[in-house]
Structure 1
Amino acid sequence: MSITKLRKHGKSVVVTIPANEAKNLNLDVEYNVSTDEHGNISLIPKLENPFKHAKPGEYYEKDVWENMKPVGEEVW
């Protein structure tokens, strides 16, 4: 485990990740950053929108429930 500090840089806060800790990180990827209530910082690789190149209706699925009649107390 390595130690680092946060620094203020303009309107941003910068954290330097030591190279030995970043060896499995892709430097060409953008990351979504989030922090939790304990101060833990998560870097999550930003993914391309999977529907960006989809054709209209490509992910449509027929509603298999549309003709099903209720048989019990599921409808109030």
Structure 2
Amino acid sequence: MSTTKLRRQGSSIVVTIPASEAKDLDLNTEYIVKTDEHGNISLIPKLDNPFKNAKPGEYNEEDVWADMKPAGKEVW
């Protein structure tokens, strides 16, 4: 286990990750930074928008329940 400290650089806080701990991280990936109530910092790889190149209606599904009538106490 390695240790590190936070430091201020301009209007940002910088965390230096030791190379031994970052060997599986891609330096060209943009990360979302999330901190929780315990002070844990998570780096989450930012994904491209999967809908960016979608054609209109491509992700719509047919409404297979449209012709079903309620059979019990369902809200209609």
Q: Normalised by the shorter chain, which TM-score bucket?
A: over 0.9
Q: 1:3-40: CA deviations, max 9, x gaps? A: 00011111111000000100000000000000000000
Aligned residues: 76
Query: Where does structure 1 lack aligned partners over 5 or more consecutive residues?
Result: none
- What is the CA–CA distance in structure 2 between the aligned matches of 1:71 and 1:38, rounded to whole Å? 49
Identical residues among aligned pairs (%): 74
Aligned counterpart, 2:35: 35
Report the RMSD for the aligned CA atoms in angstroms: 1.0
Query: Where does structure 2 lack aligned partners over 5 or more consecutive residues?
Result: none
- What is the CA–CA distance in structure 1 between the aligned matches of 2:75 and 2:62, rounded to whole Å? 22
TM-score (norm 1): 0.94
TM-score (norm 2): 0.94
